[in-house]
Structure 1
Amino acid sequence: MSETVVVLGASPKVDRYSHKAIKMLGEYGHKVVPVNPYHAQIDGIDCVKDVDEITVPADTVTVYMRESHLLPLIGHLVKLAPRRVIFNPGAEAPAAYPALEEAGIDIEEACTLVLLRTDQF
């Protein structure tokens, strides 16, 4: 099933896992919404500068940013109301979990790339 997936911390640098996730999500047929305030596009996919610019319903948000950068965005994520938020290795943000859980958003600490490759996404 195809989902709309928001990639927080999207990077145009090909060695970054967020970049690999953007590519792999597209290869698996998902609509990708990269969030990056400094780039208009990543691999030909239009970026949004911040979460508030997202105009389509998001099924999943996958996080590739440190907790200190994510915490100011939690209210915006709650408003976006995805079904789940995936915290990739190194991007875990325990301080954010209570607000997301209270909003009924599922939390998953996992690697998006592994979830895709093992058909668990």
Structure 2
Amino acid sequence: MNKNVAIVGATEDPTKYANRALHMLQSRGYNPIPVNPLKETVDGIKCYPSLRDIPEPVDTVTMYVRPAVAGELADDVVAVKPRRVIMNPGTKSDVLADACKKNGIEVLYACTLILLQTGQF
């Protein structure tokens, strides 16, 4: 099973949900892959400037960016062909959702942290 999870909007700020997700994913045996064009690493993990720069297959993309930014990334998401995209609260983008659905990518409107905590990830 592919356990690669791209975290779009990854940050080192421990008060942010993206950072909490990174550590929770890691503690549960997943391979979190930070994505942020402004960072080289996030908490010691190599960070990629875009989804297209990730050299390995991605199973899940979890979004932690504003809806407008999520929409702008639709082509990148489709290009990496994840099994699913999780739009965390505050990231819902109809543009991204439509692009995913047209390309057979599952879309979840959910909180990654809750999915992990409840065994639904």
1:84 alignment counterpart: 84
Aligned-pair RMSD on alpha carbons?
1.1
**Where does 1:1-121 land on structure 2 (aligned, <5 Å)?**
3-121=3-121
Instruction: State how far apart, in whole Å, the 2-side matches of 1:22 and 1:88 are.
Output: 14
Structure 1 gaps of 5+ residues are none
Report the alpha carbon displacement of residue 2 of structure 1 after superposing the two structures with TM. 6.0
Count of residue pairs brought into register by the alignment: 121
For normalisation by structure 1, the TM-score amounts to 0.96
- Partner SS for 2:100: helix
Report the alpha carbon displacement of residue 67 of structure 1 after superposing the two structures with TM. 1.3
- 8 Å Cα contact 1:2-1:29 kept in structure 2: no
- 8 Å Cα contact 1:57-1:80 kept in structure 2: yes
Report the alpha carbon displacement of residue 92 of structure 1 after superposing the two structures with TM. 1.1
Instruction: State how far apart, in whole Å, the 2-side matches of 1:87 and 1:40 are.
Output: 24
Report the alpha carbon displacement of residue 81 of structure 1 after superposing the two structures with TM. 0.3
Task: Write the letter of the residue equivalent to 1:11.
Answer: T
Structure 2 gaps of 5+ residues are none
Percent of residue pairs identical: 39
- 8 Å Cα contact 2:74-2:95 kept in structure 1: no
- Partner SS for 1:85: strand
Instruction: State how far apart, in whole Å, the 1-side matches of 2:71 and 2:98 are.
Output: 12
Task: Write the letter of the residue equivalent to 1:43.
Answer: D
Report the alpha carbon displacement of residue 95 of structure 1 after superposing the two structures with TM. 2.5
